[in-house]
């Protein structure tokens, strides 16, 4: 075989091998590109998922912060409204003590526990109420002593002779007991519908 034919044969064989190598390289490159795209899509999906989760967490945190501030303001408004109710009640009692209806109220407060009061008990009243209560004691024919006390107003205090019992029957004391019982009934009156909607 001549050198030229041999060279042609070697060249053709080299071209075939080169074409095979190129085809294999092209197939490997296509496979790598597909794998790279899949990995890229997976990483992109993971990144989007993490960003979405973080965005949701930040939104939730912001929402909770706003909700907390709204609730704090709502409770502050409620507390102020309740405090205003008690303040207005105290003013109403003070106004009642200066009104023309007060003698009838004071008479009712004095008579309310008179039958249960032992003889020789002390009735304490405000100096302004002394004349009315003295007249009521005289009419009752119940043996009671009368003392005046600037700290007693809006009613009477009955002190048992042995000092074991003090019955405070004043409007302010009754209001204080009502207040000590809590604000549930005021909350129900002021905010009843709102509380039901919240639950």
| Confidence at residue 1, expressed as pLDDT on a 0 to 100 scale | 60
| Confidence at residue 193, expressed as pLDDT on a 0 to 100 scale | 58
| Confidence at residue 185, expressed as pLDDT on a 0 to 100 scale | 65
129-149 pLDDT, tens digit each? 999 999 999 998 889 999 999
| Confidence at residue 192, expressed as pLDDT on a 0 to 100 scale | 67
| Confidence at residue 198, expressed as pLDDT on a 0 to 100 scale | 54
* Closest among 173, 176, 170 to 110, alpha carbons compared: 170
Segments of the chain scoring below 70 in pLDDT: 1, 185, 190, 192-199
81-116 pLDDT, tens digit each? 878 888 888 898 888 888 999 999 999 999 998 888
| Confidence at residue 161, expressed as pLDDT on a 0 to 100 scale | 93
């Amino acid at each position: 075989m001549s050198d030229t034919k041999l060279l042609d044969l070697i060249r053709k064989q080299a071209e075939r091998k080169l074409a095979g190598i190129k085809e294999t390289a092209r197939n490997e490159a296509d496979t790598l590109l597909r794998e790279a795209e899949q990995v890229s899509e997976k990483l992109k999906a993971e990144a989007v998922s993490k960003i979405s989760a973080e965005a949701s967490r930040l939104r939730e945190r912001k929402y909770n912060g706003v909700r907390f501030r709204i609730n704090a303001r709502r409770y502050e408004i409620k507390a102020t409204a309740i405090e205003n109710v008690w303040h207005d009640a105290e003013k109403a009692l003070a106004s009642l003590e200066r009104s023309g209806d007060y003698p009838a109220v004071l008479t009712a407060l004095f008579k309310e526990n008179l039958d249960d009061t032992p003889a020789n008990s002390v009735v304490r009243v405000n100096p302004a109420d002394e004349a009315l209560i003295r007249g009521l004691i005289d009419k009752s024919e119940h043996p009671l002593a009368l003392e005046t006390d600037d700290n007693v107003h809006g009613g009477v205090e009955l002190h048992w002779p042995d000092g074991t019992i003090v019955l405070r029957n004043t409007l302010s004391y009754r209001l204080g007991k009502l207040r000590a019982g809590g604000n549930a009934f005021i909350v129900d009156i002021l905010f009843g519908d709102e509380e039901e909607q919240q639950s």
